[in-house]
Amino acid sequence: MTLEGGEGAGKSTQARLLVAALAARGIDAVLTREPGGTPLAEAIRGLLLTEGEGPGLRTEALLFAAARADHVARLIAPSLAEGKWVVCDRFVDSSRAYQGGGSGLPDAEILALHRVGSETLLPELTLLIEVDPEVAIQRTAARDGDASDRIGGRDAAYHARVAAAFNQFATAEPDRFARIDGNGSPEQTHAAIMAAIDAARWGPA
Ligand code: TYD
């Protein structure tokens, strides 16, 4: 399953709380993130997020897809094959929202890269953590100060397009997406996530 959302949504905190809660239920879940999760993909993360001119849009999309391909082949697919759950902080929907909605690459092109790189592997459940823009700005300022990464530091209009894209994906695929209100405390958001998992058709009884 994946967690998605914009900057300052609290995904990483929630991913950790979720894996701990699953462990308490006896479920062996692997916690991982994108871009990253394997040594090669973490190296690509460095290329993508370091300040500076950075890659052009198409190169950026290809690098995210390449990092994901390694992550899927070396960590995600083998973990699933062993019967483990995988909790991933960002996945292909982030490429669709940022390189697509934010930057303008057509969704079909991003999905084509995902087909080549990762055989179109999709999560069974995507938790979309939604926060109001003011809350997101406060949280990222508290966390990063002036040190936001190359993509996180893009302007408010860019992040508004990202949020709109996520919203559109959740509307288009209601069976895969669960919308989570992330404006409250970490405990409240965690409770909403566990409720969404229990409500999912395939979720633990
Ligand atoms: P991350 O540390 O996950 O950011 P945050 O903590 O804000 O979630 O950094 C990932 C950045 O990369 C974030 O700005 C979103 C962006 N990104 C993409 O643009 N495309 C992608 O496919 C992925 C996985 C992330």
What count of residues does the chain have?
Answer: 205
For 36-95, the pLDDT digits (tens) are 999 999 999 999 998 788 899 999 999 999 999 999 999 999 999 999 999 999 999 999
* pLDDT the model gives residue 51: 78
Helix (H) or strand (E) holding 181: strand 177-181
* pLDDT the model gives residue 52: 82
Report the 10 Å Cβ neighbour count for 107.
Answer: 17
For ligand 1, whether the C-beta of 11 sits within 6 Å is: yes
| Residue % of the chain over a pLDDT of 90 | 86
* pLDDT the model gives residue 21: 98
Q: Say if domain 2-199 classifies as CATH 3.40.50.300.
A: yes
| CA 48 to ligand 1: nearest atom | 12
Ligand 1 mean position to 185 CA, how many Å?
Answer: 22
CA distance to 6, 47, 68, 72, 85, per residue, from 105 (Å):
18, 20, 18, 23, 31
What are the sequence ranges of the domains in the chain? 2-199
The stretch 154-162 carries a mean pLDDT of 95
For ligand 1, whether the C-beta of 5 sits within 6 Å is: no
Question: Which residue owns the Cα nearest ligand 1 atom 6?
Answer: 7
